[in-house]
Structure formats: C-alpha cells, structure tokens
Amino acid sequence: MTHTSYIVRDVRLEKRAASARYTPVWLTTERGEIACRFYGAGDTLRVVVWVGGVGGGWDSPAHEMYPRLAEELTSEGIASLRLRYRHPQRLDDAVFDVKAGIDYLQGEGMDHIALVGHSLGGAVVIQAAAGNPDVRTVVTLAAMSYGTELVREFMPTTSLLLLHGGADTVLPASCSRVIHDRATVFKRINVLPQAGHVLDESADEVCRTVRKWLVEELAE
C-alpha cells in the first residue's frame, strides 16, 4: 500500500541509456543522495533490494549475480533496486541507505520486499529488515556475524537464507552459522565447500539457489 515517505525527501530519475536495462534513481535524504539502479517489472508489488560489502560501488558477488538476476527476475514479475552506499565502511549509514531504499519502494506501492546482501551487506540487510512486515525474505551471502543480533527481531513472516563459502578466508562460514542459530524464523543455510568469500567458485549454484528462493518467497 502506498504511504507517505518519511526518509526519502525527493526522488530524481535519470534517462535510461539505450543499452541499459535499468533506470538510474537518486534518493535525496537528510544525509545526502543515494544512487540506485531500478529494474522495473511493470505494475508489481514484488521487488528485491541488492547491496554489496565494504568495497562500495556496484559490488556484486558470484560473477556479477546482482545485475544478472535483476534482469532475469523481471520476467517473473519481480522488480529490483540495486543500491550504492554513500559510505560503505560505516554500518549505520549503510543501514540507513537500505531503509531509504525500502521507504522509496513502499512509497511506490511495493510491499513484497526481499533484501539481499553480501559480506558487510549481510549485516546491513538484517538490520534493515528487523521489525518490518513488508520484508518477506532476507538473503545473506558470506555475511559477517557482527551487527546481526537484530535477526531475532524479524517478523514471523520474514524468512532467511544464508549462503557461505566453506573456503572463505575473509569471513569463515561459522559467521553464517551464528546468524542461523540466532534466527527464530523459517531459515536455511547452505555452505558451499569450494567457494571463497566472493562465491565465484560456485557462482552458478548460488545464482540458481537465490533465484529459486526469491521467486518462491515473494510469491503473492
């Protein structure tokens, strides 16, 4: 249901480039502008927000899974918003940015929302999802465990998928196991033995798993 935006003060859409599959969107907030890329899927209630880690930019794990799935999911009637943090090394600011993205989408009438985050982004999406009934599912990829205590405050209708590389030398798979143990909602964890932190070694499996999960969990 469309409602008044409390975080986003203004929205600026740029003209889509001829070769682009997305529309550049700028969200103006009290903390500055947030750059986004919106992949539309017609008049839909369903949308995925994709965020990366401390590297910032348009970071995507698993061989550029984010833009790949953002395009593919439009055929399922699922839109996507890729979001670039203003300050990727500041957890609180990154959470604010994702909440602003959610606020924008809710203001556009989208209330079946999924959040996907890699590395630090795993903690970001967990904090952003806590207590929000419009967030139907959260997917974390090689997430850190720091800052994820709020997973205990997920709404009962919010599910959780955790994917982690068993060969991750940046954040061990035990980080995702900690989050899994904390969560009390419907949840699943998958440790991929050969994959490292960016999950490139198991990119195809990660893409298939995430795509299937999102389609099922965002079903109306």
Q: At 177, which amino acid appears?
A: R
Report the candidate in 142, 67, 83, 71 with the shortest Cα–Cα distance to residue 115.
83
CA distance 147 to 127: 8
Which pLDDT band, with edges at 50, 70 and 90, does 108 fall under?
Answer: very high
pLDDT score, position 16:
86
CA 142 to chain centre: 13
| Angle of CA points 137, 138, 142, to nearest 5° | 155
Query: Has residue 1 got a pLDDT over 80?
Result: no
Least confident span in 11-15, 117-121, 166-170, 182-186: 11-15
Query: Has residue 77 got a pLDDT over 60?
Result: yes
Tokens of 163: 């994917």
Report in angstroms the alpha-carbon separations of 22 from 71, 91, 117, 120, 168.
9, 26, 19, 25, 32
How much is the mean pLDDT over the chain? 96
pLDDT score, position 65:
98
**What SS3 state is found at 76?**
helix
Question: What is the pLDDT averaged over residues 16-34?
Answer: 93
Report the candidate in 43, 51, 118 with the shortest Cα–Cα distance to residue 81.
51
Question: What is the pLDDT averaged over residues 38-45?
Answer: 96
Query: Has residue 86 got a pLDDT over 90?
Result: yes
DSSP state string for 134-169: TEEEEEEES--STT-GGGGG--TT-EEEEEEETT-S
Give me the long-range contacts of 144-150 (CB less than 8 A, separation at least 24): 144/119, 144/120, 144/171, 144/175, 145/171, 145/174, 145/175, 145/176, 145/178, 145/179, 147/91, 147/123, 148/122, 148/123, 148/178, 148/179, 148/182, 149/182, 150/126
pLDDT score, position 168:
98
Query: Has residue 47 got a pLDDT over 90?
Result: yes
| Contact status, residue 192 vs residue 199, Cβ threshold 8 Å | yes
**pTM tops 0.85:** yes
Query: Has residue 171 got a pLDDT over 80?
Result: yes
Domains defined along the chain, listed by start: 38-217 (3.40.50.1820)
User: Percent of the chain at pLDDT above 90?
Assistant: 94
Which pLDDT band, with edges at 50, 70 and 90, does 5 fall under?
Answer: low
